[in-house]
Amino acid sequence: MFDHNETLAEARARNIRDALFEDVGVCDWTAALVKPGQRVKARLLVREEAVLCGREWFEGCLRALDAQARIDWSYAEGDLMAADTPVCAIEADARALLTAERPGLNFLQTLSAVATLTRRHMDAIEGASPNPRGCSVLDTRKTLPGLRLAQKYAVRIGGGANQRLALYDGILIKENHIASAGSVSAALRNAQALVAEQATPKGYQIGIQIEVETLDQLREALGAGATSILLDNFDTDLMRQAVAINQELTGGQALLEASGSVMLEQLRGIAATGVDRISIGKLTKDVRAVDFSLRVLERIA
């Protein structure tokens, strides 16, 4: 434990193993009602318009129980699916399919929900930003326990970007860190010194971002050399002032990120202020599952 940073492939394998273990335990008694070796054809439908995400998690659940299972997808990962259309056709061992159905669908409904919500947020800001760098929508670390890398992958599939993947993925100085250090500039100096003394792999940089709550803190952060700043709960007028201050003091070089209970209907106005990024916790913490339906069509003799 704590000996390396988990990769997406490792996280996916762990997700699948954990999902099957928590659902199956020692036996799926209901699937045992079907005779061993019986194969079936099935079809998966989506009941609402949504972005498809999580194919490898779904496939992994089924193939963990039936390595010979065949899945023919009608949509690619990231495609926008039309309501009431086939998502894939399946041929598999009946017991394996019945056992893997719910764990597999849990991944599809959750990850597709994250990707779909992210796509809606990206569509909402299209063409709104005057920033030459554009404006992007980011997630946060407010993820479902155990599904961090999976949900952040889903955000990327939906067209968004990732904030820090985890605590290992850079420094984010928040209000409690600032209070503990004594000031914005003191917290930044501590972070800069820590990064300077760390031996990191070639080409890898430990990013430093600091959260500010006022324009005075913003000026202090820029004066102390901050290159990435989180604007916590700024209204749009304050965001516009922050963009102007950044332009005045750094030529607009520092990245400015809006954060704090951002609603979908506010997005376009926020992007129009010229900030670089908007981070939104609800992309991964307020998940409303996409509606999928799997039906066995026929037995294969």
Pairing status of strand 277-279 against strand 292-300:
unpaired
Among 57-66, 193-202, 235-244, 245-254, the least confident range? 193-202
Per-residue model confidence as pLDDT tens digits over 196-230: 887 666 656 789 999 999 999 999 999 999 999 99
Question: Could you tell me which of 36, 28, 35, 58 has the C-alpha nearest to residue 46?
Answer: 58
Beta bridge partners of 173: 210
Separation of alpha carbons 12 and 6, rounded Å? 10
Separation of alpha carbons 279 and 258, rounded Å? 6
Torsion 246-249-252-255 (CA) sign: negative
What is residue 196's predicted lDDT score, i.e. its pLDDT?
87
Residues annotated catalytic, as ranges: 102, 142, 174, 211, 232
Domain regions of the chain by residue span: 8-119+287-300, 122-285
Q: For domain 122-285, give the fold.
A: TIM Barrel (3.20.20)
- Strands across the sheet containing 255-259: 136-138, 277-279, 255-259, 228-232, 208-212, 171-173
Contact 184, 178 (CB under 8 A): yes
| Ramachandran category for residue 285: left, alpha or beta (phi over 0 → left; psi -120 to 50 → alpha) | alpha
The pLDDT of 109-119, averaged and rounded, is 98
Whether this prediction's pTM lies above 0.75 is answered by yes
> What's the CATH superfamily of 8-119+287-300?
Quinolinate phosphoribosyl transferase, N-terminal domain (3.90.1170.20)
Residue 222 one-letter amino acid: L
Contact 8, 153 (CB under 8 A): yes
| Long-range CB contact pairs, 141-146, < 8 A, 24+ | 141/166, 142/281, 142/284, 142/285, 143/284, 143/285, 144/110, 144/284, 144/285, 144/287, 146/14, 146/15, 146/18
Separation of alpha carbons 280 and 278, rounded Å? 7
Separation of alpha carbons 81 and 283, rounded Å? 19
Residue 1 has pLDDT above 70, yes or no: no
Per-residue model confidence as pLDDT tens digits over 31-42: 999 999 999 999
Beta bridge partners of 279: 138, 259
The pLDDT of 158-169, averaged and rounded, is 95
Per-residue model confidence as pLDDT tens digits over 6-63: 999 999 999 999 999 999 999 999 999 999 999 999 999 999 999 999 999 999 999 9
